């Protein structure tokens, strides 16, 4: 998984400019580390008296990941939904054999000055006629806590506007998310956009 994230990151840097992966991979992403999380969701049972509108429940609330890159392997139950670019629509991410989901996380969102978007996503479970679980395996590839996240000028230059994130230390952002009681449970509204976006501060 680490190797996969490294390859993806190098491909992203190359897509920003020919020499960027040589210039920035080792210095910026060389200390990244990853960890796995196993998610186990209980599927709600279908009951005869249930109305259509409460046929689904949220297994994991809407959030953005705090990583640079997240790789998700979901089983064949489905239910992962990603917010579309317009901020309104939701797309179902249909499980496919031998396919992994790649998410951009908040740290890469900030490091790319928003060129890559940390998308909001959630897991919705449909009531079924059997008791069981949905499993997913998520691998979060992150900067180390001491890393100062600051988009290089050349990356900012590739965006049409100006720099939109001030520099911040990764650990400070993680603490902002974790120490904020609402941020713990309602991740949307307590993301890197709220923590480090320059426009919001003035
Ligand atoms: O279970 C899934 O498909 C997604 C899990 C997820 O978004 C997460 O663990 O952050
Ligand atoms: Fe996630």
Q: Residue 183 pLDDT more than 60?
A: no
If one counts the domains in the chain, the total is 1
In a domain, 22, yes or no: no
Q: Is residue 10 part of a domain?
A: no
Question: Does the residue 181 lie in any domain?
Answer: yes
Query: Is residue 148 included in any domain, yes or no?
Result: yes
**Residue 202, domain member (yes or no):** no
As for ligand 1, residues whose beta carbon falls within 6 Å of it are 37, 39, 60, 65, 72, 74, 80, 121, 123, 136, 138
Instruction: Domain of residue 84: give its range.
Output: 33-196
Query: Residue 44: exposed, middle, or buried by beta-carbon count in 10 A (0-12, 13-18, 19+)?
Result: middle
> For residues 192 and 114, is the Cβ–Cβ distance under 8 A?
no
Nearest CA to ligand 1 atom 1: 136
Residue 7 covered by a domain: no
Q: Look at residue 37 and give its three-state secondary structure.
A: strand
Of the ranges 3-7, 14-18, 173-177, the best mean pLDDT one? 3-7
Please report which confidence band the pLDDT of residue 94 belongs to, taking 50, 70 and 90 as the band edges.
very high
CA of 202 to the centre of ligand 2 (A): 30
| Beta-bridge partner residues of 60 | 123
Ligand 1 atom 8 nearest Cα:
138
Using 50, 70 and 90 to split pLDDT, how confident is the model at 202?
very low
Whether residue 16 lies inside any domain: the answer is no
In CATH, what number is assigned to the domain containing residue 52?
2.60.120.330
pLDDT for 164 equals 93
Q: Are 9 and 3 in contact (CB under 8 A)?
A: no
Cα–ligand 2 centroid distance for 142 (angstroms): 13
At residue 192, φ and ψ (nearest 5 deg) are -65, -25
Pocket test for ligand 1, best of 70, 73, 78, 105 (most atoms within 8 A of CB): 70
Contact between 121 and 80 (Cβ < 8 Å): yes
The pLDDT assigned to 201 comes to 46
State the average pLDDT for the chain: 89
Provide the pLDDT for residue 7: 97
Q: Let me know if residue 80 belongs to a domain.
A: yes
pLDDT at residue 101 is higher than 50: yes
| More confidently predicted of 5 and 178 | 5
pLDDT at 142 over 90: yes
Least confident of 10-14, 119-123, 144-148, 159-163: 159-163
- Tens digits of residue pLDDT in 23-46: 999 999 999 999 999 999 998 887
**159 vs 58, more confident:** 58
Residue 189 is predicted with a pLDDT of 67
**% the chain with pLDDT above 70:** 90
pLDDT of 188 above 80: no
> Which residues have CB under 8 Å from 165's CB, separation 6+?
110, 113, 114, 149, 150, 151, 192, 196, 197, 198
């Amino acid at each position: 998984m680490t190797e996969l994230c490294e390859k993806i990151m190098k491909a992203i840097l190359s897509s920003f400019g020919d020499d960027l992966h040589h210039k920035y991979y080792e210095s910026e992403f060389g200390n990244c580390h990853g960890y796995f999380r196993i998610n186990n969701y209980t599927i709600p049972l279908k009951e005869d008296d249930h109305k259509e509108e409460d046929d689904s429940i949220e297994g994991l609330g809407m959030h953005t990941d705090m990583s640079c890159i997240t790789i998700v392997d979901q089983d064949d139950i489905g239910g992962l939904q990603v917010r579309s670019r317009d901020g309104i629509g939701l797309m179902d991410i249909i499980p496919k054999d031998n396919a992994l989901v790649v998410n951009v996380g908040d740290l890469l969102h900030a490091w790319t000055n928003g060129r890559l978007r940390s998308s909001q996503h959630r897991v919705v479970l449909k009531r079924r006629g059997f008791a069981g679980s949905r499993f997913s395996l998520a691998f979060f590839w992150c900067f180390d806590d001491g890393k100062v996240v600051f988009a290089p000028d050349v990356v900012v230059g590739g965006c049409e506007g100006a720099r939109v994130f001030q520099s911040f230390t990764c650990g400070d952002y993680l603490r902002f998310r974790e120490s904020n009681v609402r941020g713990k449970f309602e991740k949307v509204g307590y993301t890197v956009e709220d923590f480090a976006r320059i426009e919001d501060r003035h």
